[in-house]
Amino acid sequence: MLQGFDGGMLFRTFDHSKRPFFLIFVPLLKKDDLLLNMDSNLRTVTTADGSVTLFLPDRDETYHSVHGAETESMHVFIKNGLEVAANDKAKLKVLEIGFGTGLNALLALLFAEKNQIAIEFVSTEKYPLQKEMVLQLNYGKRLLADELFLQLHTCSWNEVHPLNAHFSLFKHEGDFREANLEANSYDVIFFDAFAPRVQPELWTIEVFQQMYRLLHPGGILVTYCAKGEVKRTMKAAGFSVERLPGPPGKREMTRARKSD
């Protein structure tokens, strides 16, 4: 005989001949329950280079490296992503998985301005941050772009916003796997989802096949993640995969390329 209920806090079991005994279960929360409550859980953390990031205690996960949020974003996404793609193109289409704090978007905007490159930036976000949280981030101040940083966050979702002569932003609100994105069109993908430990469902072969389809031939996907299993999954999805030196605190990062 087994008694209990779906949320599964307490089960009372009888093993016929013996006395009843009780098993206590921690309630089973679905992954999304935690992520959906992110804003009530999130805390700010100052990282080694002075830039702030967000920490999700329930998952023991930060939005960026604690060895330097801005340093990591510059290294992984700008230096090893945008800069490489901009070598042979003056107009780039970039897709970001996870808009989050908007740090990558701001760095990409500043890169476009400085290098006079036209960037069409599409970013997807399933769990947009509350304004109070955004106001605690110090990227705008540090990069002398306070106004632009606020605009990145306050501009409406699901519409194109030309934010200056070189940079337009389209923020897609929702799960990137369900977004209506044009195939064969992106030069660079910033794959900046939470780590495989936290969101394993976003590091599957299906997801990498989808990313492969979205990339322009010769296009690249960059990510901070350098796990062997992730690289094998990328290869199985069709990518050629490079290991690159990582940002401070990480030995490696990954760049994956779609064939020409």
Interacting residues toward ligand SAM by CB under 6 A: 63, 73, 97-101, 103-104, 124-127, 175-176, 192-194, 199, 202
Check the CA dihedral 88-149-105-138 and report its sign: positive
Closest CA to 220 of 89, 68, 69: 89
Tokens of 119: 């960037």
Residue type, 254: T
- The residue (of 91 and 197) whose beta carbon lies closer to ligand SAM is 197
Cα separation, 91 vs 112, whole angstroms: 9
In our burial notation (b when 16+ CB lie closer than 10 A, e otherwise), range 197-206 reads ebbeebbeee
The SS3 call for residue 137 is: coil
- The residue (of 23 and 42) whose beta carbon lies closer to ligand SAM is 42
Assess contact for 216 and 258: CB atoms under 8 A.
yes
- The residue (of 11 and 62) whose beta carbon lies closer to ligand SAM is 62
Between β-strands 240-245 and 215-223, what pairing exists: parallel, antiparallel or unpaired? unpaired
Q: Which residues pair with 92 in a beta bridge?
A: 119
- The residue (of 120 and 125) whose beta carbon lies closer to ligand SAM is 125
Cβ neighbours of residue 85 under 8 Å, at least 6 residues apart? 92, 187, 188, 219, 220
- As measured in angstroms, the least distance from the Cβ of 91 to ligand SAM is 22
In terms of residues, how long is the chain? 260
Cα separation, 36 vs 200, whole angstroms: 17
Q: What is the DSSP letter of 238?
A: T
- The residue (of 29 and 165) whose beta carbon lies closer to ligand SAM is 29
- As measured in angstroms, the least distance from the Cβ of 104 to ligand SAM is 5
- As measured in angstroms, the least distance from the Cβ of 129 to ligand SAM is 7
- The residue (of 103 and 122) whose beta carbon lies closer to ligand SAM is 103
- As measured in angstroms, the least distance from the Cβ of 211 to ligand SAM is 12
- The residue (of 11 and 179) whose beta carbon lies closer to ligand SAM is 179
- As measured in angstroms, the least distance from the Cβ of 6 to ligand SAM is 26
- As measured in angstroms, the least distance from the Cβ of 24 to ligand SAM is 31
- As measured in angstroms, the least distance from the Cβ of 199 to ligand SAM is 6
Tokens of 256: 């994956």
